[in-house]
């Protein structure tokens, strides 16, 4: 439930508040998968499609879309339930790269994921393309 403490002077929830919740959802999802400490390495394509207002119930869903050697991409989808209107609207989405760490704080291997459906395989291929694009920009300077 979004409260006045989460809002800006317009009465809508701060984008930063939503980003923090997205980060927390990705952290929990990646930790459950890796069973290790994880940190966020990057956030790609954070898109806000609809404002969130005081009194809205936020629904944040996160899932692993790709697993590399030490990193995972977590896809996060955000919806707001407009309680007084009885409807749910898509608020936005994001893709976060989370890296698993060993006890010394160094990147460490993570378990693979099982891609059960064609939709899962497609999401993984698209995530791999995002990873390649992100790395090419990182090394380009």
Q: State the CATH number of the domain containing residue 105.
A: 3.10.129.10
Kindly report, residue by residue over 65-102, the tens digit of the pLDDT.
Answer: 999 999 999 999 999 999 999 999 999 999 999 999 99
| Average confidence (pLDDT) over 44-63 | 94
Question: What does pTM read for this prediction?
Answer: 0.90
* Res 45: pLDDT: 77
Q: What range defines the domain where residue 58 resides?
A: 4-140
Domains in the chain, number:
1
Phi and psi of 30, rounded to 5°? -70, -40
Phi and psi of 100, rounded to 5°? -80, 140
**Residue 28 has which token pair?**
């929990």
- Is residue 103 helix, strand or coil? coil
Kindly report, residue by residue over 2-36, the tens digit of the pLDDT.
Answer: 999 999 999 899 999 999 999 999 999 999 999 99
* Per-residue pLDDT at 60 exceeds 80: yes
Rounded CA-CA distance 68/70 in Å is: 6
* Res 141: pLDDT: 60
């Amino acid at each position: 439930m979004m409260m006045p403490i989460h809002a800006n002077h317009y009465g809508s929830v701060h984008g930063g508040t939503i980003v923090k919740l997205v980060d927390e959802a990705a952290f929990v999802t990646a930790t459950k998968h890796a069973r290790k400490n994880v940190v966020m390495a990057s956030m790609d394509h954070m898109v806000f499609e609809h404002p969130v207002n005081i009194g809205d119930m936020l629904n944040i869903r996160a899932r692993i879309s790709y697993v590399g050697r030490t990193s995972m991409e977590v896809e996060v989808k955000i919806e707001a339930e407009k309680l007084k209107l009885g409807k749910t609207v898509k608020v936005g989405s994001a893709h976060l790269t989370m890296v698993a760490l060993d006890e010394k704080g160094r990147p460490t291997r993570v378990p693979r994921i099982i891609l059960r459906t064609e939709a899962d395989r497609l999401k993984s291929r698209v995530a791999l393309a995002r990873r390649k694009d992100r790395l090419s920009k990182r090394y380009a300077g």
